[in-house]
Amino acid sequence: MAKKIAVYLCSGCGLGEGLNLEALAKVATKEYKIELVKTHPALCSAEGRQLIQEDIEKEGVDGVVIAGCSPRVNTEVFDFGPNIIVERVNLREQGIWCHPPGDEDTQMLAEDQLRMGIVKAKDAQVPEPYKVEEISKTILVIGGGLAGITAALEAAKANYPVVLVEKNEELGGWAARLYKQVTLKPPYNQLEEPDIKDRIKALQEKPNVKIYTSAKVEKISGAPGLFDATISTKNGTVTERVGAIILATGAVPYDASKLEHLGFGRFPNVITTDMLEEMARQGKFVRPSDGKEAKNVAFILCAGSRDPEHLPYCSASCCVDSLRQALYLKEKDPDTAVYIFYRDLRAPGQHEYLYKRVQEEGVIFFRSDNTQIEEGSNNRLVIRAKDVLVNEEVIVEDLDLVVLATGMVPTTALGEMIVVGAEEEEEKGKKEEGPLVRPDVYFRCDLLNLEYRQGPELPTLKYGFPDSHFICFPYETRRTGIYAAGTVRAPMDMRTTIVDATGAALKAIQCLELTAQGMAVHPRSLDTSYPEFNLTQCTQCKRCTVECPFGALNEDEKANPLPNPTRCRRCATCMGACPQRAISFKNYNVNMIGNMVKAIEVPEEDEEKPRIVVFACENDAYPALDMAGMKRLQLSPWIRVIPLRCLGSMNLIWIADALAKGIDGVLLLGCKHGEDYQCHFVKGSELCNYRLSKIKETLDRLALESDRVRMVQVEIMDWHKLPEIIEDFAKRLEEVGPNPYKGF
């Protein structure tokens, strides 16, 4: 708790004119007995900063409340070191910029915001980083294909020890089975020997790299910096202590035997991409039916991909693979007629040059729907398709080979599917109305074998790829310290895989370095706070261990939570989940936010000034409110905004606190949830929504209308919708009428 708090009011940027700063100063001095309250025309100037710095040094101030601009700006200016608590009261973006300056209601809003800021600073403590002794800085790479080797090589180049585990006898994976690869340098359209051998050699030459082939990860326990991986190798079982893990186990081709509608299995001369690759390595393109040379070859792309019956997604690389293979055929014999039937040809990045080259070589492309294949005489194949360019059916006859470009299935999607419903665990057999929490899904793919309470493998997204916030932090899986790279993470081609693996190596290094300093990884990088569990209050309800989106908490036999702080992302979802309020952070806890709510002054009913508490997610909703201010959109004067780390940290007690205080409504602004979620902590806003389904009982107990609480999903680009969202809620509250608890 801060011992000595000082309040600084900035009169710059129109704040001095738009607000009565003297009245604001009185709030601090009179209501909170703060001695040191200063006003300055530009706190962000060197002089303004100096003013604060001097007070810290001379007056012993350790809690600084700065009322001025948004905490999202001038962050570094107002950083006074790790031991000084800084609380920013947003009077500019969310004050005079979106409320009329000089207005009585705006002044009341500013005063309430200041009250909340002072309370928050008072309740905050300086966090002490959670540091682990003897943290391991070794990186474990699982999978020795292009992605694994690249990640291992990049990590080794940065001087981090690497342990690489490959299930096969030889390294190289899919890339080593290629006949040729497309040049990764200009002109990007030539065939060359696969360079995977050079990469393997470079890796083998690195010191500090341990490679286990014909090996498998049997078990992983621990947490970032402290993982213990049990690996079965040719020479028995070994245990390695590692700090971070890169999962690069790749993908497997889609099972072509399911593609009977495209002739596979029915006609001998229908083959797959992999089978053609093998022919290329043998040096002969022949018809499987009679071994005669193939002179007319067609490729059918998206075979079993982008197909609701098979793989609904695009495999990202079968266009490029087919282009490369078409070039094999044309380089072997330019007179071979080669046809490519595609639905959308995707040649990402520099692959456009390859596409162009293949066209130059005379390969004919068909953008076609409903490609049909049949067999003519002498096992020759006939393709019929609707060509969209001439808008007519086209027939290609006398085909010796038809190659199906099959999609890829991530190795994380192999094995038995396990569905873990966060909700079901709590209420076994009990059917409850209201929104459900999306269950976690993983497959028993035998890759990681984590000893985690929430299951042995990575939770997956819709198609079995590891779940991650794919826009903001694609490599981050739902298990801190474990990063997926390459085709196991998403379908991709070689070039992307190399970039991806490099990125994952960097993420693993970041994790090691941040963990060593007791800091959080993405998205709350550098945060030194961590949750503390007051187990004397715990009732073993398991909400925290079930709801943690990152599997940070294990459980003992009695269902007490066993925290693993280095796995924690500091979203405080556990804090929001805990009905006992047993979980807290030094600078973020249930009481603190509750006290902030209680600091709001609620006018009497006859003043007709309703109050709305807005709990806004720091990641999208809060910046969106700032943007609304920057665009000078006008917001309802009744709102009082409290930023939350994530709506997942929303504890129901705050709503009770607010309504009991006489506040008319609570608006929760959080990220989009569901399948295409945008929540930075994956399930935070979804869990908040789930908790709200339970609020009804609480409200009934208080004899209040459930309409007084509303949750709205906003993305950062929804800033322009905020006036309407808030106004709409205010209107509804007007209909419901004032909170009967006012004045109690």
Partner 1 sequence: MAVRVNPDFYRKLKKFGGQSATQCFHCGNCTVVCPLSTEEYQFPRRFMRYVQLGMEEKIKHSVEPWLCYYCGDCQRLCPRQANPGEVMMALRRYLTTTYDWTGLGRLLYTSNFWKLFFVGLLFFVTLWVVYTFHGPVVTEHVELETFAPAHIVHPVGYIFGTLLAVLLLSNVYRMYKFILGPEKISLPASVYLEELKTLLLHFFTQLRLRMCTDKSRWIKHWLLMSGYFIAFMLVNIDMVTRWSLTNEPPAWWHPAKLLWTYATFAMLYATTEAIIGRLRKKEPIHQFSHSTDWMFLLLLWPTIFTGLLVRIFMEADLALPTYYAFAFHLAFTVPLLGLEVPFAKWSHLAYRPFALYFIRLRERARAMQQPQMATEAEAQSA
Residues that bind partner 1 (rule: CB under 8 A) add up to a total of 25
DSSP state for residue 41 in the 8-state scheme: S
Given the complex with partner 1, which of 193 and 398 has the nearer CB atom?
398
Query: How far apart are the C-alpha atoms of 395 and 385, rounded to whole Å?
Result: 7
Is 475 an interacting residue with respect to partner 1 (CB under 8 A)? Answer: no
By beta-carbon proximity to partner 1, the closer residue of 365 and 719 is 365
Rounded Cα gap, residues 239 and 242, in angstroms: 9
Segment contacting partner 1 by CB under 8 A, of 10-18, 70-78, 382-390, 589-597: 382-390
DSSP readout, 548-578?
-TT--EEE-TT--EEE-GGG-----HHHHH-
Name the token pair of 245: 């893990």
Nearer to partner 1, 359 or 560 (CB): 359
Q: In this chain, which of 32, 174, 264, 355 binds partner 1, going by CB under 8 A?
A: 355
Residue among 400 and 440 whose Cβ is closer to partner 1: 400
Strands 665-670 and 709-713, by their bridges, are: parallel
Segment near partner 1 (CB under 8 A), from 182-190, 216-224, 358-366, 564-572?
358-366
360 is a contact residue toward partner 1 (CB under 8 A): yes
Task: Give the residue from 276, 374, 291, 290 showing the smallest Cα distance to 325.
Answer: 276
Helix 318-332 with 273-282: angle, nearest 10 deg: 30
E strands, 572-638, in order:
583-584, 612-617
Q: Would you count residue 133 as binding partner 1 (CB under 8 A)?
A: no
Comparing CB distances to partner 1, the nearer of 342 and 550 is 342
Q: Which residues pair with 714 in a beta bridge?
A: none
CB of 346 to partner 1, least distance (A): 12
Per the DSSP assignment, residues forming a β-bridge with 206 are: none
Give the residue with the Cβ less far from partner 1, 396 or 663.
396
> What is d(CA 423, CA 478) in angstroms, rounded to the nearest whole number?
18
Q: Closest CB to partner 1 among 352 and 604?
A: 352
What tokens does 339 get? 């046809």
Strands (E), 549-678: 553-555, 561-563, 583-584, 612-617, 639-644, 665-670
CB of 388 to partner 1, least distance (A): 9
Q: Which of 244, 410, 249, 231 is nearest to 317 (CA)?
A: 410
Per CB under 8 A, contacts with partner 1 among 455-474 are none
Kindly state whether residue 384 participates in binding partner 1, applying the rule CB under 8 A. yes
The tokens of 614 are what? Answer: 């807005």
Choices 104-112, 233-241, 352-360, 441-449; region in contact with partner 1 by CB under 8 A: 352-360
Q: Is 362 in the site for partner 1 (CB under 8 A)?
A: yes
Residue with tokens 């590692």: 242
Residue 370 contacts partner 1 per CB under 8 A = no
Tokens of 640: 């009082």
Please tell me whether residue 349 binds partner 1 under the rule CB under 8 A.
no
In the range 397-436, which residues lie near partner 1 by CB under 8 A? 397
Q: Evaluate the CA torsion angle 76, 109, 680, 632 in order and state its sign.
A: negative
d(CA 612, CA 663) in angstroms, rounded, equals: 6
Residue 205 binding partner 1, by CB under 8 A? no
Alpha-carbon span 514 to 497, nearest angstrom: 25
Nearer to partner 1, 402 or 574 (CB): 402
359 binds partner 1 (CB under 8 A): yes
Q: Whose Cβ is closer to partner 1: residue 79's or residue 393's? A: 393
Shortest Å, Cβ 301 to partner 1: 15
Query: Any alpha helices (H) in 239-312, and if so which ranges?
Result: 273-282
Residue type, 209: V
Nearest to residue 325, comparing CAs of 299, 290, 305, 347? 299
Residue type, 93: E
Q: Which stretch binds partner 1 (CB under 8 A): 116-124, 364-372, 595-603, 621-629?
A: 364-372
Instruction: Decide if residue 387 touches partner 1 (CB under 8 A).
Output: yes
Out of 23, 158, 389, 717, the only residue in the binding site for partner 1 (CB under 8 A) is 389
Nearer to partner 1, 51 or 347 (CB): 347
Please name every residue paired with 8 in a beta bridge, in sequence order, or none if there are none: 38, 66
Whichever of 328 and 729 has its CB closer to partner 1, that residue is 328
Of 332-340, 420-428, 549-557, 659-667, the segment contacting partner 1 by CB under 8 A is: 332-340
Cis peptide preceding 523, ω within 30 of 0: yes
Applying CB under 8 A, among 76, 133, 309, 392 the residue interacting with partner 1 is 392
Residue in 126, 132, 394, 414 binding partner 1, rule: CB under 8 A: 394
> How many angstroms separate the CA atoms of 669 and 652, rounded?
15
CB of 496 to partner 1, least distance (A): 22
357 or 570: whose CB is closer to partner 1? 357
Q: If you write DSSP's letter for every residue of 691-744 in order, what string do you get?
A: HHHHHHHHHHHTT--GGGEEEEE--GGGGGGHHHHHHHHHHHHHHH-S-TTTT-
In terms of Cβ atoms closer than 10 Å to its own Cβ (0-12, 13-18, 19+), residue 299 is: buried
Which of 47, 79, 369, 393 contacts partner 1 by CB under 8 A? 393
Q: Write out the binding residues for partner 1, residues 294-323 only, by CB under 8 A.
A: 296
Q: Which of 24, 110, 300, 337 binds partner 1 (CB under 8 A)?
A: 337
Of 396, 404, 650, 671, the one binding partner 1 by CB under 8 A: 396
Residue (393 or 427) nearer to partner 1, CB: 393
**Binding of residue 390 to partner 1 (CB under 8 A):** yes
Q: Any idea what the Cα angle at residue 202 is, between residues 200 and 203, rounded to 5°?
A: 65
Residue from 24, 302, 320, 363 touching partner 1 (CB under 8 A): that is 363
Read off φ and ψ for residue 673, nearest 5 degrees: -125, 180
Which range binds partner 1 by CB under 8 A, 200-208, 388-396, 447-455, 619-627? 388-396
Partner residues linked to 406 by β-bridges: 303
E-state strands within 204-272: 209-212, 216-221, 227-233, 236-242, 244-247, 251-253, 270-272
CB of 689 to partner 1, least distance (A): 46
Minimum distance from residue 323 beta carbon to partner 1 (Å): 12
CB of 285 or CB of 654, closer to partner 1: 285
Shortest distance, position 491 Cβ to partner 1, whole Å = 23
- Chosen residue from 364, 472, 535, 559 binding partner 1 by CB under 8 A: 364
Residue 516: partners with Cβ closer than 8 Å, 6 or more residues away: 131, 132, 135, 137, 225
Range in contact with partner 1 (rule: CB under 8 A) among 135-143, 385-393, 598-606, 713-721: 385-393
| Of 396 and 509, CB closest to partner 1 | 396
20 binds partner 1 (CB under 8 A): no
Nearest approach in angstroms of CB 372 to partner 1 is: 12
Instruction: Please identify which residue in 46, 395, 417, 559 interacts with partner 1, judged by CB under 8 A.
Output: 395
If the CB atoms of residues 383 and 612 are measured against partner 1, the closer one turns out to be: 383
DSSP 48-81: HHHHHHHHHHHH---EEEEEES-TTSSTTTT---
Interacting positions 680-719 with partner 1 (CB under 8 A): none
Q: Which stretch binds partner 1 (CB under 8 A): 28-36, 359-367, 470-478, 594-602?
A: 359-367
Which residues of the shown chain bind partner 1 in the complex (CB under 8 A)?
A: 296, 335, 337, 339, 345, 355-356, 359-365, 367, 384, 387, 389-390, 392-397
